[in-house]
Amino acid sequence: MTDPRLTRLAASLPATVPFVGPETMEREAGEAFRARLGANESVFGPSPKAVAAMEKAAAESWKYGDSLSHDLRHAIAAYHDVDPAHVLVGEGIDGILGNLVRLTVAEGGAVVTSAGAYPTFNYHVTGFGGTLHKVPFRGDHEDPDALVDKAVETGAKLVYISNPDNPMGSWHDGATVAAMLDRLPDTCLLVLDEAYADFAPEEAIPDIAPTDTRVIRTRTFSKAYGLAGARVGYAIGPVDLIAAFDRVRNHFGMTRVSQDGAVAALADRDWLEKVCRDVERSKARMSEIAAGNGLRALPSATNFVAIDCGRDGGFAREVMLALIARGVFVRMPGVSPLDRCIRITCGTDGDMDVLAETLPLALEDAARNVR
């Protein structure tokens, strides 16, 4: 029975979340995963300097965090060589996306994304009553032309693209992404999710001025910086749009511990470079493991690899479930034909050893279960 106190919109929503967390799976299984390779976290961890900064800040957790995230915002601005007025700090990219949708999408408003792209963005759009319009991937890439065409057709307020992409790990060159802006309707904003930019080749990052009113770019400390549990993201965009977030954001949502950890992480370039090297080594090992089992690892500009299981989504799902049953947490894309793949986060040498041990057994299980 639906609670009569809910709004009409809230009552119409499914009581689901975009992802089932690994902790939930572990509780249900009664044991911990041997290798946690499904959420695109950085198993290589945060910078020791970030850990030290967070430990120091923990003693002052009785204080609210700085509501303006002044030090972190200025550090991000200096890193990107932009004015701090162009920078917004929020509770991960997810928190920023939720507030962006709240600011720009009225009930029934059109929003364009790719079928199979980041489901949490869709969750926010649906939660505020927006109408999602999805276009298919083109091959293993999001399709910039189709996204723009659909935005023009529907009069969309937002059009979302991730570059590099999740869940396939693919990317477009920056010029291709920047060219989308000239074709968007005047009332449409490009939401450019660059969560994996730290792993991407230089040519994948578009040259877009922070003053450009047609785009907002989002980044995160959850991936390369190893601070997924600290929930720190940021956006770069035009001053008026960034300022508008003050109308709706949770002003004390950023903890003191998270802010200080992110400032220290951003300053430790040596650690970031080490993590990126570790990721490249892990991707190479995954490609070898996949090839050794007759599978293909797709090229990736992220900290994960999509492995083509060579059949349809039903078979790939059986492979994923068999890996989970053997203590290896992985995920897979949610729509065809992307769902022919399983998606595996980069890990330590030990993690890759576990994957090499369990993947052939999972493939055998899947072959028995799917005829």
CATH no. for residue 286? 3.90.1150.10
Asked, for residue 227, whether it belongs to a domain, the answer is yes
Q: Are residues 57 and 165 in the same domain?
A: yes
On whether residue 1 sits in a domain, the answer given is no
Say if residue 264 is in the same domain as residue 150. Answer: yes
Cα→Cα distances 27→21, 22, 23, Å: 10, 9, 6
Q: Is the peptide bond preceding residue 337 cis, with omega within 30 degrees of 0?
A: yes
> Is 55 in a helix, a strand, or coil?
helix
| 114 occurs within a structural domain | yes
Residues 176, 141 share a domain: yes
Q: What is the DSSP code string of 89-149?
A: EESHHHHHHHHHHHHH--TT-EEEEETTS-HHHHHHHHHTT-EEEEE--BTTB--HHHHHH
In a domain, 3, yes or no: no
User: Both 330 and 240 in a single domain?
Assistant: no
In terms of domains, do 65 and 161 share one?
A: yes
What is the total count of domains within the chain? 2
Three-class SS of residue 185?
coil
Using CA atoms, how far residue 180 sits from 174, 197, 215, 268, 325, in Å, is: 10, 18, 10, 34, 43
Q: Verify that 109 and 232 share a domain, yes or no.
A: yes
Please confirm whether the linkage preceding 164 is cis (ω < 30° from 0).
yes
Tell me the angle at which helices 313-325 and 349-369 cross, rounded to the nearest 10 degrees. 130
The C-alpha angle 168, 333, 102, rounded to 5 degrees, equals 90
One domain for residues 68 and 193: yes
Asked if residues 61 and 256 have their Cβ atoms less than 8 Å apart, the reply is yes
| Full pLDDT tens readout for the chain, 371 residues | 678 999 999 999 988 777 889 999 999 999 999 999 999 999 999 999 999 999 999 999 999 999 999 999 999 999 999 999 999 999 999 999 999 999 999 999 999 999 999 999 999 999 999 999 999 999 999 999 999 999 999 999 999 999 999 999 999 999 999 999 999 999 999 999 999 999 999 999 999 999 999 999 999 999 999 999 999 999 999 999 999 999 999 999 999 999 999 999 999 999 999 999 999 999 999 999 999 999 999 999 999 999 999 999 999 999 999 999 999 999 999 999 999 999 999 999 999 999 999 999 999 999 999 87
DSSP 182: G
Q: Does 298 lie in the same domain as 232?
A: no
Question: Of 268, 284, 306, at which residue does a domain stop?
Answer: 268
226 within a domain of the structure (yes/no): yes
Q: At which of 239, 268, 297 does a domain end? A: 268
Within this chain, do residues 147 and 133 fall inside the same structural domain, yes or no? yes
The residue from 248, 268, 288 where one domain ends is: 268
For 172-192, b/e burial (b = at least 16 CB within 10 A) is bebeebbebbeebbeebbbbb
- The reply to whether 85 and 231 lie within a common domain is yes
Q: What's the whole-model pTM score? A: 0.96
Q: Same structural domain for residues 100 and 71?
A: yes
Q: The domain containing residue 103 runs over which residues? A: 48-268
Is there a single domain that holds both residue 233 and residue 355?
Answer: no
Please report whether residue 363 resides in a domain. yes
CB 244 within 8 A of CB 57: no
- pLDDT value at position 31? 95
236 Cβ contact list (under 8 Å, min separation 6): 80, 82, 86, 87, 88, 210, 216, 217, 219
CATH number at residue 55: 3.40.640.10
Task: Say if 82 falls within a structural domain.
Answer: yes
The DSSP element (H or E) to which 37 belongs, if any, is none
With a CB cutoff of 8 Å and minimum separation 6, the contacts of 287 are 297, 305
